[in-house]
């Protein structure tokens, strides 16, 4: 349960970072969400062996981290925590794809190693950017933004309620687990059967709470739609942020495809 | 027409599993009254409160809010005029920030965003919680959550304020602040509580429920002096009305 707790702490900490003041924090949430979305699409669109051509894209998260004065130690640690997933995804590539793709002097680099490296870079870029986005926008800010950008309202609401009640539910689960461990001795009382009972309890409590929340909503005039407050106006600075960064991503993507650049990079590596 | 009136006639309610929670409850609460509803666990307090703005519909009998009997047609109106503060503020504060939560009701009433935000400011200032408006509810203390939960209801300008166990989980200082605030609130109040000292501070009138019936309905001090009645309804005299053990030892 300690793991779950620290995850919840992470969200809280990211939200605290989101309350800070900086030029990046002041930008409209829609601008940041939209730019991040395009960033992720561009990162995903690269060739599977792309390594060097991905590097310029690091400029985007790095500039945001510096401008927003985010603690890179914290972000780095979070990235490392989820890194095993990316390692698992790419771990077999070097074994499966042994065709030489690149010669670094006399050293032959196989396609497998290149694609493995590429996966790790993409992972760092996308997951890192997701963390940065929450830290400069806040989770509710992102939900509001996707609602205003035209995503179905129910989708934004699901996320908002998830965010609101995950702490309450986490606290309940923590209390239950603590109560169980206080009465479990010599490994007895820790079995799967007990876990099943705990989960059932948690589900029941959740359903009951959902009913009470629904009552609370009804008592304040809820008739099926949840009103969300308007966001501040989209300014020219927001527009410039989206335009310039997206222009940069697309330029990097187009240039990476050009044969001349590849030859130039290959020369450089030799 | 006065919305400030709540009347319950021969109210009966049986849960789907057959448990009879209310077995013929009658009372009438008029403008400006502060009334406590007390009783043992399972006496029917919560079930009664849930009838006051139509979460539950009586098996028989009637609830009147203002001059009209509560029906499905005037339900929205009744829900606006009877503001309910829940026992667990976590149930009541469901939006991501305090401001959005307090604005939820006014926006549902059809107010413009500007007017709704005006109400948010007024309501939060009233309970001394204006500085919390940008905070997410899960990061508030119990006392702050309670204050904000009351503000969410005040923002709808209710005529009657109903509170279910308002002092649960509060530290003594927060409890005292809540009592002071409620004492200054002049509209009709209905408070269900086990905190009989709070009741003594705030309510001139007390209704004692026992097994789904009204066992007593009268001036709070009189009710709390009736030892037999208190025992019968599994209650205890408020601490302030009990002799002080230290002082009485000293004098003897």
| Contact check, Cβ <8 Å, A160/B95 | yes
Taking CA–CA distances from B50, the nearest residue in chain A reads A215
Q: Considering chain B, what is the average pLDDT of its residues? A: 90
Whether the Cβ atoms of residue A226 and residue B104 lie closer than 8 Å to each other: yes
Q: How far is CA B80 from the centre of its chain?
A: 15
Contacts of B99 in chain A (CB under 8 A): 229
pLDDT category, B207, cuts 50, 70, 90? very high
The answer as to whether B234 is a domain residue is yes
- Any domain includes B120: no
Nearest CA of chain A to the CA of B162: how many Å? Answer: 11
Q: B214 is in which domain, residue-wise?
A: 6-90+159-251
Half-sphere exposure in the Cβ direction for B6 (13 Å, CA): 27
| Domain presence at residue B150 | no
Q: How far apart are CA B186 and CA B132, in angstroms?
A: 25
Asked whether residue B173 is assigned to any structural domain, the reply reads yes
DSSP 8-state code for residue B42: T
In a domain, B134, yes or no: no
Give the CA angle between residues A32, A34, A39 to the nearest 5°: 90
Retrieve residue A145's tokens. 């933004």
Full-model pTM:
0.77
- The answer to whether position B110 is within a domain reads no
pLDDT digits (tens, 9 = 90+) for B4-37: 789 999 999 999 999 999 999 999 999 999 999 9
Reported in sequence order, the residue ranges of chain A that DSSP labels E, i.e. its strands, are 100-104, 107-110
Of A15, A161, A215, Cβ closest to residue B55: A215
- For residue A144, count CB atoms less than 10 angstroms from its CB and return exposed for 0-12, middle for 13-18, buried for 19 or more: buried
B79–A164 C-beta distance less than 8 A:
no
Give how far A115 is from chain B: nearest CA, Å.
Answer: 41
Percent of residues in chain A assigned helix, strand, coil, to nearest 5: 75, 5, 20
How far apart (Å, rounded) are the C-alpha atoms in residues A33 and A63?
A: 16
pLDDT the model gives residue A6? 61
Contacts (Cβ under 8 Å, ≥6 apart) of A51: A114, A117, A118, A121
Tell me if B80 and A221 make a contact (CB, 8 A cut-off).
yes
* pLDDT per residue as tens digits for the range B161-198: 999 999 988 899 989 999 998 998 888 999 999 999 99
**Angle at CA of residue B152, ends B151 and B154, nearest 5°:** 60
- Give bridge partners of residue B161 from the DSSP assignment: B83, B189
Shortest CA distance from B117: residue in chain A: A229
Q: Nearest CA to A131 among A45, A36, A41, A55?
A: A36
B107 within a domain of the structure (yes/no): no
Q: What is the ipTM of this complex?
A: 0.78
Side-chain half-sphere of B241: how many Cα atoms within 13 Å?
18
Number of separate domains in chain B? 1
Write out residues 131-160 of B within 8 Å (CB-CB) of A. 134, 136-139, 152-153, 156
Chain B: residue nearest A139 by CA? B96
Residue of A nearest to B90 (CA): A168
- pLDDT by residue for chain A (270 residues), tens digit each? 445 556 666 777 887 888 888 888 889 999 999 999 999 999 988 888 888 888 999 999 999 999 999 998 888 888 888 888 888 888 888 888 777 777 777 777 788 888 888 999 999 999 999 999 999 988 888 988 998 898 888 888 888 888 888 888 888 888 888 888 778 777 777 777 888 888 888 899 888 888 888 888 888 888 777 887 776 788 899 999 999 999 999 998 888 776 666 666 666 666
| Chain A nearest CA to B95, separation (Å) | 7
Cβ A79 vs Cβ A131: under 8 Å = yes
DSSP letter for A58, please.
G
Answer yes or no: is B147 within a domain.
Answer: no
Residue B153 contacts by C-beta under 8 Å, 6 or more apart in sequence? A219, A220, B83, B84, B85, B105, B161
- List the single residue in B92, B100, B138 with the smallest CB-CB distance to A168: B138
Q: Number of A to B CB contacts under 8 A, please give it.
A: 79
For position B217, which CATH number holds? 3.40.50.300
């Amino acid at each position: 349960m300690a793991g779950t707790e620290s995850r919840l702490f992470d969200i809280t900490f990211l939200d605290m970072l989101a309350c800070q003041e900086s030029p990046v924090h002041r930008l409209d949430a829609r601008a940041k969400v939209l730019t991040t979305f395009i960033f992720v699409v561009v990162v995903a669109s690269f060739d599977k062996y792309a390594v060097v051509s991905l590097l310029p894209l690091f400029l985007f998260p790095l500039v945001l981290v510096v401008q927003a004065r985010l603690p890179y130690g914290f972000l780095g640690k979070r990235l490392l925590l989820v890194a095993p997933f990316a390692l698992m995804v790419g771990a077999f590539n070097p074994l499966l794809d042994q065709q030489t793709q690149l010669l670094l002097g006399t050293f032959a680099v196989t396609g497998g190693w290149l694609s493995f490296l590429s996966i790790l870079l993409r992972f760092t870029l996308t997951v890192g950017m997701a963390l940065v986005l929450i830290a400069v926008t806040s989770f509710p800010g992102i939900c509001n933004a996707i609602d205003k950008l035209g995503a179905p309202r129910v989708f934004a609401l699901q996320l908002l309620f998830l965010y609101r009640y995950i702490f309450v539910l986490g606290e309940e689960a923590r209390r239950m687990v603590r109560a169980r461990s206080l009465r479990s001795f010599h490994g007895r009382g820790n079995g799967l059967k007990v876990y099943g009972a705990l989960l059932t309890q948690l589900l029941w409590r959740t359903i009951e709470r959902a009913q009470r929340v629904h009552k609370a909503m009804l008592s304040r005039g809820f008739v099926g739609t949840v009103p969300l407050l308007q966001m501040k106006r989209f300014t020219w600075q927001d527009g410039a942020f989206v335009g310039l960064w997206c222009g940069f991503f697309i330029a990097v993507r187009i240039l990476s495809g050009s044969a001349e650049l590849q030859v130039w990079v290959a020369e450089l590596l030799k | 027409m006065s919305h400030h009136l709540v009347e319950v006639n021969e109210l009966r309610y049986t849960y789907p599993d057959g448990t009879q929670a209310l077995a013929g409850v009658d009372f009438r609460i008029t403008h400006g009254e502060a009334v406590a509803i007390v009783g043992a666990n399972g006496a029917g307090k919560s079930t009664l409160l849930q009838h006051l703005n139509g979460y539950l519909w009586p098996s028989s009998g009637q609830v009147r809010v203002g001059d009209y009997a509560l029906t499905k047609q005037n339900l929205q109106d009744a829900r606006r005029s009877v503001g309910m503060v829940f026992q667990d503020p976590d149930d009541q504060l469901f939006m991501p920030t305090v401001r959005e939560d307090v604005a939820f009701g006014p926006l549902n009433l059809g107010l413009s965003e500007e007017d709704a935000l005006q109400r948010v400011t007024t309501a939060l200032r009233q309970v001394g919680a204006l500085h919390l408006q940008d905070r997410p509810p899960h990061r508030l203390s119990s006392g702050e959550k309670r204050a904000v939960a009351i503000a969410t209801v005040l923002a709808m300008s209710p005529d009657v304020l109903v509170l279910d166990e308002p002092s649960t989980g509060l530290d003594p200082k927060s409890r005292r602040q809540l009592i002071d605030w409620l004492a200054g609130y002049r509209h009709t109040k209905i408070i269900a509580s086990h905190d009989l000292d709070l009741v003594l501070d705030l309510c001139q009138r007390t209704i004692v429920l026992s097994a789904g019936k009204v066992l007593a309905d009268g001036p709070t001090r009189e009710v709390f002096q009736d030892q037999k009645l208190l025992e019968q309804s599994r209650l205890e005299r408020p601490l302030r009305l009990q002799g002080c053990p230290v002082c009485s030892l000293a004098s003897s």
